[in-house]
């Protein structure tokens, strides 16, 4: 019997090796999007999923789990098995402004996820009603400083990126514009066009037609470089507030504990996907820049923005929900 044991060990090891050596992925991968279908995040998720599927030979399927400011989808992925078959397309909101707004989140934006890659970044554009005499960021700041509390700004809701972004703008500019929360940037922009609201933020593609028709005036872009969709509009950084940045980023995450080799493989495939001409062009048409960062770079972005928006929320005494 003792002579059989080494042979049995070898045979059992040979039986295990093929299963352990199976390449990832061997079945469909779910990419959870914590927002409804049809928006910018949904388009980005589907473009990325298609490319990842093409590269791997397996389906990457987008699963829209909208609700509660992205919390439902994020919690689902945080609790999912760490096997690489459930991923999350997270955003600025889910990972950095939600922690500044909600007192108790059912997920930890750092501890519950393994960062994979920063997929894309899309800046907001600062918009004002054309009746406002300010034609630049500097003129807006000068005008607002003489009228504290008289100008208002619309956001997508209390604690949203657009809300906290304006509070940051107020602080850096030394002005006091009054916040008017809306249920989304669409209605916020509509009331700015109507002249009910002085100013707002919006995505570049959705606001560009109104800018071109003269129904909105664009004063500045929230990235550190100009947008090819609005090349004549300066960045807010160059137009009067050095270092100011505001927009949305989109990052791919896996559940914490996912094997490093799977994370690195997903990163490499994501970086390859977003550098293809068709993806870059489709992102650009949405006002977004393709990135394809390393996991470490995405982790640094999350940490940076967590600190940034937490400070803004504290400075304005934002009561957590």
Query: For the segment 140-154, what is each residue's pLDDT rounded down to a tens digit?
Result: 999 999 999 999 999
Nearest Cα to 296, choosing from 120, 119, 115?
115
6 has a pLDDT exceeding 80: no
- The tokens describing 259, both together, are 């094997």
| Helix, strand, coil in percent for the chain, rounding step 5 | 45, 20, 35
Q: 179 - beta bridge partners?
A: 153
Q: What is the pLDDT of residue 124?
A: 95
302 has a pLDDT exceeding 80: yes
18 has a pLDDT exceeding 60: no
User: Confidence class of residue 321 from pLDDT cuts 50, 70 and 90?
Assistant: confident
Please state, in angstroms and rounded to a whole number, the distance separating the CA atoms of residues 214 and 129. Answer: 9
Burial 208-240 (b: 16+ CB within 10 A, else e): bebbeeebbbbbbbbbeebbebbeebbbbbebb
Q: What is the pLDDT of residue 319?
A: 73
Burial degree of 8 (CB within 10 A; 0-12, 13-18, 19+)? exposed
Condensed to tens digits (0 to 9), the pLDDT of residues 227-266 reads: 999 999 999 999 989 999 999 999 999 999 999 999 999 9
Q: Compare 219 and 320 and report the one with higher pLDDT.
A: 219
Check if the beta carbon of residue 129 is closer than 8 Å to that of residue 193. yes
2 has a pLDDT exceeding 70: no
Condensed to tens digits (0 to 9), the pLDDT of residues 46-59 reads: 999 999 999 999 99
Check if the beta carbon of residue 250 is closer than 8 Å to that of residue 94. no
Average pLDDT of every residue of the chain: 92
Q: What is the pLDDT of residue 21?
A: 52
Pairing of strands 113-128, 199-203: antiparallel
Q: Which domains does the chain have, with CATH numbers?
A: 28-121+247-315 (3.40.190.150)
Check if the beta carbon of residue 197 is closer than 8 Å to that of residue 188. yes
Condensed to tens digits (0 to 9), the pLDDT of residues 8-17 reads: 444 444 444 4
Show the 3-state SS of 36-91.
Answer: CCCCHHHHHHHHHHHHHHHHHCCCEEEEECCCHHHHHHHHHHHCCCCCCCEEEEEE
- The tokens describing 242, both together, are 């050095």
313 has a pLDDT exceeding 90: yes
């Amino acid at each position: 019997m003792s002579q059989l044991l080494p042979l049995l060990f070898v045979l059992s090891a040979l039986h295990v090796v093929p299963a352990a050596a199976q390449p990832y992925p061997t079945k469909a991968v779910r990419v959870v999007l914590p927002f409804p279908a049809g928006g910018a995040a949904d388009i980005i998720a589907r473009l990325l999923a298609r490319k990842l599927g093409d590269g791997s030979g397996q389906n990457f399927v987008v699963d829209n789990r909208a609700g509660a400011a992205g919390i439902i989808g994020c919690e689902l992925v945080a609790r999912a098995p760490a096997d690489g078959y459930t991923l999350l397309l997270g955003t600025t909101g889910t990972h950095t402004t939600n922690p500044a707004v909600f007192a108790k989140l059912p997920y930890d934006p750092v501890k519950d996820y393994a960062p994979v890659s920063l997929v894309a970044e899309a800046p907001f554009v600062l918009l004002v009603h054309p009746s406002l005499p300010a034609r630049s960021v500097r003129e807006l700041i000068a005008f607002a400083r003489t009228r504290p509390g008289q100008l208002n700004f619309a956001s997508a809701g209390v604690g949203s990126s657009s809300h906290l972004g304006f509070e940051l703008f107020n602080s850096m500019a030394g002005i006091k514009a009054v916040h008017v929360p809306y249920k989304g940037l669409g209605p916020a922009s509509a009331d700015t066009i109507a002249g009910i609201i002085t100013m707002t933020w919006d995505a570049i593609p959705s606001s560009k037609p109104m800018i071109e028709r003269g129904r909105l005036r664009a004063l500045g872009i929230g990235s550190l470089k100009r947008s090819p969709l609005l090349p004549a509009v300066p960045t807010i950084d160059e137009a009067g507030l050095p270092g100011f940045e505001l927009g949305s980023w989109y990052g791919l995450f896996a559940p914490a504990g996912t094997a490093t080799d799977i994370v690195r493989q997903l990163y490499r495939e994501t970086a390859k996907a977003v550098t293809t001409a068709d993806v870059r062009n489709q992102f650009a048409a949405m006002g977004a820049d393709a990135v394809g960062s390393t996991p470490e770079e995405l982790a640094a972005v999350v940490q940076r923005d967590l600190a940034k928006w937490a400070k803004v929320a504290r400075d304005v005494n934002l009561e957590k929900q």
